[in-house]
Amino acid sequence: MLVRLLYASRAAEALTPEAVDGILAVSRKDNPALGITGLLCYSGDIFMQVLEGGRDAVSQLYNAISHDPRHRDVVLLDYEEITERRFAGWTMGQVNLARVNPSILLKYSERPVLDPYAVSGKVSIALLEELIATASIVSRPC
Protein backbone atom coordinates (compact mmCIF):
# COMPACT_ATOMS: atom_id res chain seq x y z
CA MET A 1 0.00 0.00 0.00
CA LEU A 2 1.36 3.40 -1.01
CA VAL A 3 1.00 6.46 1.22
CA ARG A 4 1.95 10.12 1.05
CA LEU A 5 3.01 11.93 4.21
CA LEU A 6 3.69 15.66 4.49
CA TYR A 7 5.24 17.23 7.57
CA ALA A 8 6.84 20.48 8.65
CA SER A 9 9.61 21.11 11.15
CA ARG A 10 12.04 23.76 12.26
CA ALA A 11 15.79 23.26 12.38
CA ALA A 12 17.01 23.03 15.95
CA GLU A 13 20.21 24.86 15.00
CA ALA A 14 21.20 27.34 12.31
CA LEU A 15 20.52 25.82 8.92
CA THR A 16 23.62 25.86 6.74
CA PRO A 17 23.98 24.75 3.12
CA GLU A 18 26.25 21.96 4.36
CA ALA A 19 23.54 20.71 6.75
CA VAL A 20 20.97 20.62 3.94
CA ASP A 21 23.44 18.86 1.64
CA GLY A 22 24.04 16.27 4.37
CA ILE A 23 20.32 15.60 4.81
CA LEU A 24 19.86 15.23 1.08
CA ALA A 25 22.89 12.96 0.69
CA VAL A 26 21.63 10.56 3.35
CA SER A 27 18.12 10.59 1.84
CA ARG A 28 19.42 9.92 -1.65
CA LYS A 29 21.58 7.07 -0.37
CA ASP A 30 18.99 5.38 1.89
CA ASN A 31 15.62 6.08 0.23
CA PRO A 32 15.95 3.85 -2.86
CA ALA A 33 16.37 0.71 -0.74
CA LEU A 34 13.33 1.76 1.32
CA GLY A 35 11.23 2.53 -1.75
CA ILE A 36 10.76 6.12 -0.59
CA THR A 37 10.58 9.12 -2.90
CA GLY A 38 9.82 12.73 -2.08
CA LEU A 39 10.70 16.35 -1.91
CA LEU A 40 12.31 18.63 0.68
CA CYS A 41 11.48 22.35 0.71
CA TYR A 42 13.26 24.73 3.01
CA SER A 43 13.40 28.41 3.76
CA GLY A 44 15.07 30.03 6.72
CA ASP A 45 14.84 27.45 9.51
CA ILE A 46 11.66 25.78 8.21
CA PHE A 47 11.53 22.41 6.47
CA MET A 48 8.55 20.97 4.67
CA GLN A 49 8.96 17.46 3.35
CA VAL A 50 6.73 15.04 1.48
CA LEU A 51 7.49 11.32 1.65
CA GLU A 52 5.90 8.68 -0.57
CA GLY A 53 6.25 4.92 -0.42
CA GLY A 54 5.02 1.89 1.46
CA ARG A 55 3.05 2.60 4.63
CA ASP A 56 5.51 0.89 6.97
CA ALA A 57 8.62 2.47 5.44
CA VAL A 58 7.14 5.98 5.40
CA SER A 59 5.83 5.63 8.96
CA GLN A 60 9.18 4.41 10.25
CA LEU A 61 11.05 7.23 8.54
CA TYR A 62 8.63 9.87 9.86
CA ASN A 63 8.95 8.46 13.38
CA ALA A 64 12.74 8.67 13.13
CA ILE A 65 12.55 12.27 11.88
CA SER A 66 10.12 13.28 14.63
CA HIS A 67 12.58 12.00 17.25
CA ASP A 68 15.67 13.48 15.58
CA PRO A 69 17.13 16.24 17.81
CA ARG A 70 18.00 18.28 14.70
CA HIS A 71 14.26 18.94 14.24
CA ARG A 72 11.83 20.76 16.49
CA ASP A 73 8.14 21.61 16.18
CA VAL A 74 7.55 18.57 13.97
CA VAL A 75 3.94 18.67 12.73
CA LEU A 76 2.12 16.18 10.53
CA LEU A 77 0.39 18.25 7.84
CA ASP A 78 -1.17 15.57 5.65
CA TYR A 79 -1.28 11.80 5.36
CA GLU A 80 -3.19 9.72 2.85
CA GLU A 81 -3.31 6.41 1.05
CA ILE A 82 -2.52 6.96 -2.62
CA THR A 83 -2.96 5.02 -5.85
CA GLU A 84 0.14 6.54 -7.46
CA ARG A 85 3.08 8.72 -6.54
CA ARG A 86 3.20 12.42 -7.46
CA PHE A 87 6.86 12.75 -6.47
CA ALA A 88 8.17 9.52 -8.00
CA GLY A 89 10.92 11.23 -9.98
CA TRP A 90 13.12 12.00 -6.98
CA THR A 91 14.84 9.90 -4.32
CA MET A 92 14.70 13.27 -2.58
CA GLY A 93 14.22 16.42 -4.60
CA GLN A 94 14.93 19.82 -3.10
CA VAL A 95 13.57 23.33 -3.35
CA ASN A 96 15.29 26.27 -1.73
CA LEU A 97 12.35 28.64 -1.55
CA ALA A 98 14.70 31.63 -1.30
CA ARG A 99 15.31 31.03 -5.00
CA VAL A 100 11.64 30.71 -6.03
CA ASN A 101 9.55 33.57 -7.40
CA PRO A 102 7.74 35.00 -4.34
CA SER A 103 4.48 35.17 -6.31
CA ILE A 104 4.28 31.35 -6.18
CA LEU A 105 4.34 31.44 -2.37
CA LEU A 106 1.92 34.36 -2.27
CA LYS A 107 -0.54 32.38 -4.39
CA TYR A 108 -0.91 29.89 -1.52
CA SER A 109 -0.52 31.99 1.62
CA GLU A 110 -1.07 35.40 3.20
CA ARG A 111 2.53 36.47 2.67
CA PRO A 112 5.23 35.37 0.21
CA VAL A 113 7.05 33.19 2.77
CA LEU A 114 7.00 29.49 3.55
CA ASP A 115 4.81 28.94 6.61
CA PRO A 116 3.29 25.46 6.48
CA TYR A 117 2.11 25.94 10.07
CA ALA A 118 -0.37 28.60 8.89
CA VAL A 119 -1.97 26.77 5.94
CA SER A 120 -3.69 23.42 5.44
CA GLY A 121 -1.87 20.33 4.31
CA LYS A 122 -3.85 20.37 1.06
CA VAL A 123 -2.63 23.91 0.35
CA SER A 124 0.95 22.80 1.00
CA ILE A 125 0.54 19.85 -1.39
CA ALA A 126 -0.83 22.26 -4.03
CA LEU A 127 2.25 24.45 -3.55
CA LEU A 128 4.53 21.45 -4.06
CA GLU A 129 2.67 20.46 -7.21
CA GLU A 130 3.11 24.01 -8.55
CA LEU A 131 6.82 23.80 -7.80
CA ILE A 132 6.96 20.66 -9.95
CA ALA A 133 5.01 22.38 -12.73
CA THR A 134 7.33 25.39 -12.69
CA ALA A 135 10.48 23.23 -12.69
CA SER A 136 11.63 24.64 -9.35
CA ILE A 137 12.89 21.28 -8.10
CA VAL A 138 16.63 20.56 -8.07
CA SER A 139 17.80 17.00 -7.86
CA ARG A 140 19.21 13.95 -9.41
CA PRO A 141 16.32 11.75 -10.59
CA CYS A 142 15.74 8.27 -9.15
The 10s digit of each residue's pLDDT in 65-115 is 999 998 899 999 999 999 999 887 767 777 777 778 889 899 999 999 889
CA distance 115 to 108: 10
pLDDT at 142 over 50: no
pTM score:
0.88
Question: Which pLDDT band holds residue 9 (cuts at 50, 70, 90)?
Answer: very high
